[in-house]
A = this chain, B = another copy of it.
Amino acid sequence: MNKLRHVISAQQLVDREFLDELFACAATLEQEDKLRVLEHPLRGRILATMFYEPSTRTRFSFEAAMQKLGGGVLTAENALDNSSASKGETIADTVRVVSGYADAIVLRHPQVGTAEIAAAASPVPIINAGDGAGEHPTQALIDVYTIHRELGRLEDLNIALVGDLRNGRTIHSLLPFLCRAPGISLTLISPPQLRLPGKYIQMLQAADTRFAETTRLARVQPADVVYVTRVQRERFDSEAEYEAVKDSYRIDLHVADSLKPQSIILHALPRTTEISPEVDQDARAAYFRQARNGLYVRMALLRYLLT
Which residues on A are within 8 Å of B, measured CB to CB? Answer: 36, 38, 44, 46, 48, 50-51, 54-57, 60-61, 63-64, 67-68, 72, 74-79, 81-84, 87-90, 92-94, 96-98, 100-102, 269-272, 277, 288, 291-292, 294-295
Mind listing 5 A-B residue pairs with CB under 8 Å?
A57-B83, A57-B94, A78-B82, A93-B271, A94-B270
**Residues in B whose Cβ lies below 8 Å from that of A288:** 96-97, 100
- Cβ A84 vs Cβ B54 within 8 A: no
**Residues in B whose Cβ lies below 8 Å from that of A87:** 270, 272
- Cβ B75 vs Cβ A78 within 8 A: no
CB distance from A50 to the nearest CB of B (A): 7
- Cβ B77 vs Cβ A56 within 8 A: no
| C-alpha gap A81/B57 in the complex (Å) | 13
Given contacts A64-B101, A100-B292, contact A269 B84 (CB under 8 A): yes
- Cβ A89 vs Cβ B271 within 8 A: yes
CB distance from A18 to the nearest CB of B (A): 24
CB distance from A167 to the nearest CB of B (A): 14
Contact of A77 among B38, B78, B97, B277 (CB under 8 A): B78
**Residues in B whose Cβ lies below 8 Å from that of A82:** 51, 54-56, 77-78
Contact of A98 among B57, B67, B72 (CB under 8 A): B57
- Cβ A60 vs Cβ B98 within 8 A: yes
**Residues in B whose Cβ lies below 8 Å from that of A94:** 57, 270
- Cβ B272 vs Cβ A89 within 8 A: yes
**Residues in B whose Cβ lies below 8 Å from that of A72:** 64, 67-68
Contact of A295 among B79, B100, B292 (CB under 8 A): B100
CB distance from A110 to the nearest CB of B (A): 14
| C-alpha gap A22/B87 in the complex (Å) | 31
CB distance from A211 to the nearest CB of B (A): 29
- Cβ A63 vs Cβ B74 within 8 A: yes
- Cβ B78 vs Cβ A57 within 8 A: no
- Cβ A50 vs Cβ B44 within 8 A: no
